[in-house]
């Protein structure tokens, strides 16, 4: 996966804690904080359920990324889903986000860098978008373990503008690699 590359297919942000994020031409990432003008921007937990549990805990969910291939899979399954609707800030294409190890870094557009902190745990709000969507973003592997396909969460290591069409490069952490867990 080192050296693999992809592209930014869409970007979005929302100043409110809504499930969907309107898409834009570009967003600005701020090191240590997240997406400028997004409700989840901050050093400490900003996601409502996380802030309720530990409001002083670190914000490991500054930027939410989903692979566009998931949208393709959902559309083939009869869902009408487009970028930003499931709350992601960045929609990627060409990178197996779910398969990345903990600590992998994505270089977005050559300047901005995010570090993967874990998997997004899909929440019941997805059902508000379309009935059956939450079940559709869950699966089982060959050993029967739950697979969460609703994207990954990250922190901003280096800020900058990220826009539609920007290249994405993957930088893997040193071995041994650790599997992503829910954050």
Condensed to tens digits (0 to 9), the pLDDT of residues 33-87 reads 999 999 999 998 775 555 555 677 899 999 999 999 999 999 999 999 999 999 9
pLDDT over 60 at 1, yes or no: no
- Is residue 72 in a domain? yes
* Share of residues in the chain with pLDDT > 90 (%): 82
pLDDT score for 47? 59
CB atoms within 10 A of CB 9: 21
pLDDT at 3 over 90: no
Q: What pLDDT is attached to residue 151? A: 97
The count of structural domains within the chain is 1
- Alpha-carbon distance of 118 to 158, in angstroms, equals 18
Q: Does residue 180 fall inside a structural domain?
A: no
Give the pLDDT of residue 48.
55
Bridge pairing between strands 167-171 and 5-12: antiparallel
3-state helix, strand, coil split of the chain in percent (to 5) is: 15, 35, 50
Residue 5 pLDDT class (50, 70, 90 cuts): confident
15, pLDDT greater than 80: yes
CATH number of the domain within which 56 lies: 2.40.33.20
Report yes or no on 181 lying in a domain: no
Residue 176 carries which DSSP code? S
182 within a domain of the structure (yes/no): no
Please count the CA atoms within 13 angstroms of the CA of 145 that sit on its side-chain side: 6
- Is 114 among the domain residues? yes
pLDDT digits (tens, 9 = 90+) for 97-124: 999 999 999 999 979 999 999 999 988 8
Q: Is residue 117 part of a domain?
A: yes
CA triplet 25, 30, 36: central angle to 5 degrees? 50
Indicate if the pLDDT at residue 183 is higher than 90.
yes
At residue 124, the pLDDT reads: 85
**pLDDT tens-digit map of 129-176:** 999 999 999 999 899 999 999 999 999 999 999 999 999 999 999 999
The residue range of the domain holding 49 is: 5-171
The whole-number pLDDT of residue 45 equals 76
Has residue 16 been placed in a domain? yes
Is there a domain that residue 179 lies in?
no
Six-digit token string for 10:
């869409």
């Amino acid at each position: 996966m080192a050296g693999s590359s992809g592209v930014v297919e869409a970007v979005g942000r929302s100043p409110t804690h809504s499930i969907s994020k309107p898409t834009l031409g570009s967003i600005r990432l701020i090191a240590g904080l997240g997406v400028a003008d997004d409700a989840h921007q901050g050093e400490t937990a900003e996601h409502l359920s996380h802030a309720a549990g530990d409001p002083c805990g670190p914000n490991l969910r500054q930027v939410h990324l989903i692979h566009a291939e998931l949208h393709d899979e959902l559309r083939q399954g009869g869902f009408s889903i487009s970028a930003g609707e499931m709350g992601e800030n960045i929609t990627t294409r060409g990178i197996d986000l779910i398969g990345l190890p903990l600590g992998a870094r994505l270089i977005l557009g050559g300047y901005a860098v995010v570090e993967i902190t874990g998997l997004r745990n899909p929440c019941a709000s997805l059902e508000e978008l379309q009935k059956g969507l939450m079940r559709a973003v869950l699966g089982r592997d060959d050993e029967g373990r739950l697979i969460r396909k609703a994207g990954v969460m990250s922190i901003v290591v280096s800020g900058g503008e990220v826009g539609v069409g920007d290249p994405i490069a993957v930088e893997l952490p040193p071995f041994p690699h650790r599997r992503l867990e829910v954050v």
